[in-house]
Amino acid sequence: MVSPRQEIRPHDEHGLTTIAGHVNGTLKRYSCSVYFLSKMAECSYRQLKDVPNNLINDLRSLDLSSNFIRSLWNTSFLRYSLLEKLDLSNNLIGFIDLATFFPVDQLTSLTLNHNPIFTLPGSDIFQESKRLSSLSLKYCNLSYFPNETLGFLPQLQSLDLRGNELTYINISKCPKRTLNQVVFSGNAFQEISADVLNFPCRTGQLYLGGNNYRKIDADVVAEFPIFVLVLEFTTLNPEVWKDLFTGIAQSEIVGMYLLMAFNDVSRDFFDPLRGKRLSYLLLQQKAYPFQCYPSIFANLTSVYNMALWTFHIGVLEPAFFDGMKELRILTFRRTQIERVNLSGSSWKIDLRELNLSENNLRNLGPFAFKAVFFAVIFVIFIIFVYHFRWQLRYKHFLLRLAILGYREILDKNDREDYDFDVYVISTDDDENWIHDQLKPSFQRFLPYYKRSRNVFTEDDLPLGMHRTEAVDHVLTRSFKILVLVNKAACADDWFLTCFRMAMDQVADTQTENIIVVFLENIEEDEMPLNVRLYMGGQGPYVEWVEDDDEGQKYFWKRLEKCLSVNRKRNHLIPAE
């Protein structure tokens, strides 16, 4: 029911309705766009001071970002129990009731970024949010994160606490599933130690950048249950870097991103990581000249994929990567490389992929990628052959066919093994053509086809049998079957019945002894189904032409060849 203080404007073809509210019946306070079809409400930048309570009650998504909301109460979302996505970022929220989110137990995504929250009311604020998978509390001035909070979020996949005032993290309970991403960057951590960072939850990527750590406990890093560690915009002294790498070398971490995290690299910078298996290593530095030494990455012996971003390298030499035995993928992005391998040295790494895009390459010498070039060519060749393997096999078959030819599989029974040489299936309209053309030609071109063994018309069928029985008797005992097709035959039911019986005989014996003779030009859509099934099976056929001596000579030669042997078939003519 619409209250007297609401104004609902009719929705358009996209299911959009604008709902406007009033205060004291005069002052316009908000105007939200509601999408009925997708169950969404767009209320951002509406100068709202409270959560509107007159939207449709089956909302799935509600955007309240960039308003003036200061408090959230236990009744704020009572009307929207089906809500799945809620965005409250960029408000003035300083108070959140402990039971605020209890009514929205279907919530999967909650965004509270850029609010002066300072502190959450308790760990159990999300005790009813069993389906929540994404929680973002960026730049909320948080100085404390309740240690049991994650224990109430069994389906959580992403937690973002970037840019707060946290001096420590002490997580005592974890979600049931592995977190995809957790961000602690840009807080007030002074060190990584057991007292400052207690995080036992298994996680895909952990972000710890934006903090200038004075101390890192290698044992704490070694116990991190994470797969990828990301450090961005972090300045550490050499001893702290050494402790960090020592912990990583002893941990289960398989990937590391160092983004704008260092200014220079000494010769022994990566020494603690010798032998550490890393699936991926990304190094990004501020864009000023980077001094590379021979074998600078030599201790990264077990890195599989390495990427260098925004370095100013200038000249890329193979010696930089000597010792990286496991390296297979190498990427240089915006590293201002101008020359490659000026010394002409051999690459001692077994690369599968090398990416030099977004650089300043001028000329590549003929020996720039010795060894690597041939390896890359070989890999490309293998990929090409695998991708086009079926086409190449077919081309190989055609080439072998052209050189060696092929052997047809013929019927093991000779013509003399059959009771009849030829059986002609035709209509009464074809008798003149049979008498004037077919019979004389048989005497000239096929004298061994005895007249007594040929069934040209139904008058030649055996006597003393039912018509259908006689046709079947001749079909099963004929060396060849000629089917004369014209427009009249296409409309003759008895002709089509005989043709179907002949096709069944071919299917049963797997012997290609039917020859279709087209006496007229017939369009495909005028052909009966039997004829189209036969043509689809690529059965032999010839076309008769009137008033064309050369065409008729070709016709009789083609017919003589088709009448000489029976080939075996390796596919069936489909049933109707």
| Furthest C-alpha separation in the chain | 113
Q: What is the pLDDT of residue 373?
A: 58
CA 283 to chain centre: 29
For residue 479, give both structure tokens: 């060396």
Closest CA to 208 of 225, 228, 222, 194: 228
Asked whether residue 520 carries a pLDDT value surpassing 60, the answer given is yes
Asked whether the predicted pLDDT for residue 270 surpasses 80, the reply is yes
- What distance in Å separates the CA atoms of residue 11 and residue 2, rounded to the nearest whole number? 15
pTM, full prediction: 0.60
Of 189, 126, 191, 131, the residue nearest 161 (C-alpha) = 189
Q: For residue 45, give the amino acid letter.
A: Y
What local confidence, expressed as pLDDT, does residue 574 receive?
A: 52
The set of residues, in sequence order, having a beta carbon less than 8 Å from that of 404 and lying 6+ positions away, is: none
DSSP state of 144: B
CA 526 to chain centre: 44
Q: Is 1-132 in CATH node 2.30.30.40?
A: no
450 by DSSP, 3-state: which? coil
Q: What are phi and psi of 207, to 5 degrees?
A: -100, 125
Question: Residue 530, SS3?
Answer: helix
Look up residue 303 and give its DSSP letter. B
pLDDT tens across 12-37, in order? 444 555 555 443 333 344 589 999 89
Measured on CA atoms in the order 396, 398, 403, 407, is the torsion positive or negative?
A: positive
Pairing mode, strands 511-512 and 514-518: unpaired
CA count, 13 A, side-chain hemisphere, 334: 8
AA letter at 87: D
Contact 543, 555 (CB under 8 A): yes
Q: Of 87, 188, 193, 207, nearest to 135 (Cα)?
A: 87
Nearest residue to 460 (alpha-carbon basis) of 478, 443, 444, 448: 478
Out of 146-150, 296-300, 466-470, give the one with best mean pLDDT. Answer: 146-150
Upper half-sphere CA count for residue 441 (Cβ side, 13 Å) = 17
Tens digits of residue pLDDT in 198-232: 999 999 999 998 888 899 999 999 999 999 999 88
SS (H, E, C) 8-20: EECCCCCCEEEEE
Q: In this structure, what token pair is assigned to residue 517?
A: 């003779």
Q: Which two tokens stand for residue 555?
A: 């016709």
Residue 440 pLDDT grade (very low, low, confident, very high; cuts 50, 70, 90): confident
Give SS3 for 45: coil
pLDDT at 151: 92
The highest-confidence range among 226-230, 380-384, 425-429, by mean pLDDT, is 226-230
* Listed range (165-169, 196-200, 215-219, 306-310) with the worst mean pLDDT: 306-310
- Of 133 and 348, more confident: 133
| Helix then strand then coil, % of the chain, to nearest 5 | 25, 25, 50
Which residues on neighbouring strands pair with residue 216, listed in sequence order? 192
Can you tell me whether residue 519 is helix, strand or coil? coil
373-376 long-range contacts (CB < 8 A, ≥24 apart) are 375/350, 375/351, 376/351, 376/352
**Phi and psi, residue 210, nearest 5°:** 70, 15
Q: Which range scores top for mean pLDDT: 142-156, 292-306, 531-545?
A: 142-156
Buried-state track 502-538, b at ≥16 Cβ within 10 A, e below 16: bbebbbeeebbbbbbbbbeebeeeebbebbebbeebe
Strand partners, 256: 229, 281
> Phi/psi at 322 (nearest 5 deg)?
-60, 135
Q: Determine the 3-state secondary structure of 506 from DSSP.
A: helix
Mean pLDDT of the chain: 82
Fold of 415-568: Rossmann fold (3.40.50)
